[in-house]
Structure 1
Amino acid sequence: MDVFDFILQIVLVLFVAKIAGQISLRFGQPSVLGKIIAGIILGPAVLGWIEQTELIHVFSEIGVLLLMFLAGLETDLESLGKNAKAATLVAVLGVIIPILMGWAASPLFHIPTSEGVFIGLLLAATSVSISVQTLREIGWLNSREGATLLGAAVLDDVIVVILIAVAIGFFMGAETNIAWVIAQQVIFFIIIYFVGRYIVPKFIHLFEGMLVTESIVTAGLILLFAAAYFADFLGVSGIIGTYFMGVAISRTKYAKEIEHGISPIAYGIFVPFFFINIGLPMSFDGLGSQIGFIMAFSLIAILSKFIGCGLGAKVGGFGWKSSAGIGAGMISRGEVALILASIGLTGGILSHEFYGAMIVVIIVTTLVTPPLLKLIFGKRHDEQVS
């Protein structure tokens, strides 16, 4: 792609994202909803003006890394610790129930056992990045419910990564060392803890006395991208790396300066690409025969997380309203499930017949999450919408 063609797409994406977000707000919905719908309209499904090029994918990936880093900066670590039990229950039930419901429904559509289990694993995934932005807009991100959602999403991601490795090893005959997969997760969290506690403050301090512009912000960017790379290297999602790096920096005196420096970069250019990119894979080609599957599994995808995670929150000590909100916040499968679906397709464990249909199901879950959160929680206090 010519550089000026990409520049034109930057202009189009940023303009449409902000306009679509504003329209969504005017209708009383979170801006995220409008941006995702705009991605569907701009993409191959409708107008075909924007395709998922490598550059758009990279901008989108950077956007979600920055989004989760900023969420980490805003996380109340004390609240996160206090709600660890509830977050664990939310994550565990939010994995078990979707897997069981997805696997149980598969025979109705003549889906083989291995593929049915993989579809169940797709339904077990959670992409909390959509919920993070929605909760920020309605003022619930830095709350007990928000902390529980984030903690549950991190644990959910770790569990699903391990289960995917088990499924690939079992059904595809791949030589997957499950013990090593688990060890990688443990190694990551041990190292990120010690780095966050002992190295991060000293590293940023090295930049404090520099005369060059925005040295502290640059230090924050170096750390967040390094954390993303390290997490991905160990088989952990990059967004978990940036989230915990944000949590680590939030405990330093540099947190506000880094947040104020990175936030305009994130919301000014990269985060809009992430939300637009979520809608781009949508395609209606050849889905006429899959309408029944899409409707059934969309319903299963929504209810399994809503019930499973909501029940986990209730058992963990939340009231009915908060439990329902947490259940709704875990519904979105977003980019996490899209990546897993691609892995399943290339590995031969997910057929082309159901791949396209599952993409639609994933996007449906992503579309319903923002309005559900707004409906259940309402606006807590005035927040600036990015």
Structure 2
Amino acid sequence: MSFIGTLALILLVTLIVSQLFSRVGIPDVIGQILVGVVAGPAMLGWLQRSEMIEQFQEIGVIVLMFIAGLESDLSLLKKYLKPALMVALGGMLLPILVMGVAAYGFGIPVFEAFFIGVVFSATSVSISVAVLREYRKMDTKEGATILGAAVADDIGGVMLLSIMISMMNSQGSHVSGHGSTNLGLVLLLQVAFFGGSYLLIRWLAPYLMHLSSKMLPIAANSVMAMVICLGMAAAAESVSLSGAVGAFFAGIAIANTHKKETVNRSFIPIGYAMFIPIFFVNVGLSMRLDHFWDSIVFILVMTVLACLTKLLGSGGGAKMMGFPLDSSYVIGSGMIARGEMALITAQIGYEAHLLSESYYSDIITVIVLATILAPFILKHAIKRMKTA
């Protein structure tokens, strides 16, 4: 089947499954992920990851995070910046410590075990964003804290990965494509990126959107917003950050202009009609069950720990900063999903020989399982907070 036919089939199936899941009160992103699990290599093998699917899912992450930024309250993000940093710190340290020790307990060498802890310190807030939007919780103190913590988490993850690759290089290992990694330069470039983001939010985006209003093409505002979105995503990737971070700041920048609602109305159909469902299906396609039963104890233990360490680490950080217990539960559960961030970290580590082939597929399975469980836990937390 051609890619166009495959794309049409994926969108049709995800639409039907999302409808069924929504009717029984299950977040529709779960259905989309399960489409990838069932139709992909893990079970039926009808769908395979391809370069085109990878490109579409990358755009899906970018558009989803752009919408998240667009719908965020900048004053809330500023107000909850300090709690967000504490949430990110707790959500990184506990997985590194607990999951690293657990991996070592399963006989994995200490350096590799530590890297596994680093992999699970990552957070993919894209999945939580979809659930928060579904339950109209984006523009709340919990939503702002989760988004702020995810950005800090991404920066911390890049720093840890850079440090580990540098350590590997110093031991004499040659890593293709990573040999020139310079942590100091990476951090300097990231500081420059955040400085540029401030300029974009304060001056450049309002000017560009005002300029687009003067243009004749009917979709000029949306095209200019897309240029800003993709440009910021590319800039973030060029300084070793996730493109999702750049897209998030681009969304905040557009939200600071008079064209916020116009752009939001155009981007939601663009994202949810095609790119965002492909992203969630691709998460499911990442799962493999080749050695599932051989490693069942390792996978189950690590999956439970993957959920608990973020829930307790990030939720505990929120509680320490004065959030009520129910709010802390929402924040902790909002940080559980690992998704593309952990998958990317694991892939880079695998290529850099930080993660051996014998454990790579098991770690990918744990990432996907934790990502599937995360929306269920977040939904339970949101419902509990509503009834409290």
Q: Is the 8 Å Cα contact of residues 291 and 362 (structure 2) preserved in structure 1?
A: no
The answer as to 2:282 corresponding to 1:277 is yes
Q: Is the 8 Å Cα contact of residues 138 and 380 (structure 1) preserved in structure 2?
A: no
Correspondences of 1:43-62 after superposition (within 5 Å): 43-62=40-59
Name the SS for the 2:215 alignment partner: coil
One of 306, 309, 328 as aligned partner of 2:311: 306
Please give the TM-score of this superposition, normalised by the length of structure 1: 0.95
Partner of 2:140: 143
Please give the TM-score of this superposition, normalised by the length of structure 2: 0.95
Correspondences of 1:319-358 after superposition (within 5 Å): 319-358=324-363
CA RMSD of aligned residues (A): 1.4
Identity of aligned residues (%): 41
Give the Cα separation in 2 of the matches to 1:277 and 1:255.
Answer: 30
One of 38, 41, 49 as aligned partner of 1:41: 38
Structure 1 letter corresponding to 2:51: E
Task: List alignment gaps of at least 5 residues for structure 2.
Answer: 171-178
Structure 2 letter corresponding to 1:123: F
Partner of 1:251: 256
Give the Cα separation in 1 of the matches to 2:380 and 2:183.
Answer: 41
One of 362, 373, 376 as aligned partner of 2:381: 376
Aligned pair count?
Answer: 378
Q: Is the 8 Å Cα contact of residues 138 and 378 (structure 1) preserved in structure 2?
A: no
Partner of 1:384: none
Structure 1 letter corresponding to 2:360: Y
Q: Is the 8 Å Cα contact of residues 172 and 349 (structure 1) preserved in structure 2?
A: no
Structure 2 letter corresponding to 1:178: L
Give the Cα separation in 1 of the matches to 2:366 and 2:109.
Answer: 19
Structure 1 letter corresponding to 2:73: D
Give the Cα separation in 2 of the matches to 1:177 and 1:161.
Answer: 12
Cα offset for 1:198? 1.1
One of 164, 169, 192 as aligned partner of 1:167: 164
Name the SS for the 2:137 alignment partner: coil
Name the SS for the 1:103 alignment partner: helix
Partner of 1:98: 95
Give the Cα separation in 2 of the matches to 1:313 and 1:379.
Answer: 17
Cα offset for 1:107? 2.2
Partner of 1:65: 62
Cα-to-partner distance string for 1:114-152 (whole Å, 9 max, x where unaligned): 111110000100000000000110111111100000000
The answer as to 2:239 corresponding to 1:238 is no
Name the SS for the 1:24 alignment partner: helix
Q: Is the 8 Å Cα contact of residues 201 and 256 (structure 2) preserved in structure 1?
A: no
Give the Cα separation in 1 of the matches to 2:103 and 2:280.
Answer: 30
Cα-to-partner distance string for 1:333-361 (whole Å, 9 max, x where unaligned): 00000011111111111011110000110
Cα offset for 1:196? 2.1
Task: List alignment gaps of at least 5 residues for structure 1.
Answer: 382-386
Give the Cα separation in 2 of the matches to 1:313 and 1:361.
Answer: 25
Give the Cα separation in 1 of the matches to 2:85 and 2:306.
Answer: 20
Give the Cα separation in 2 of the matches to 1:350 and 1:87.
Answer: 30
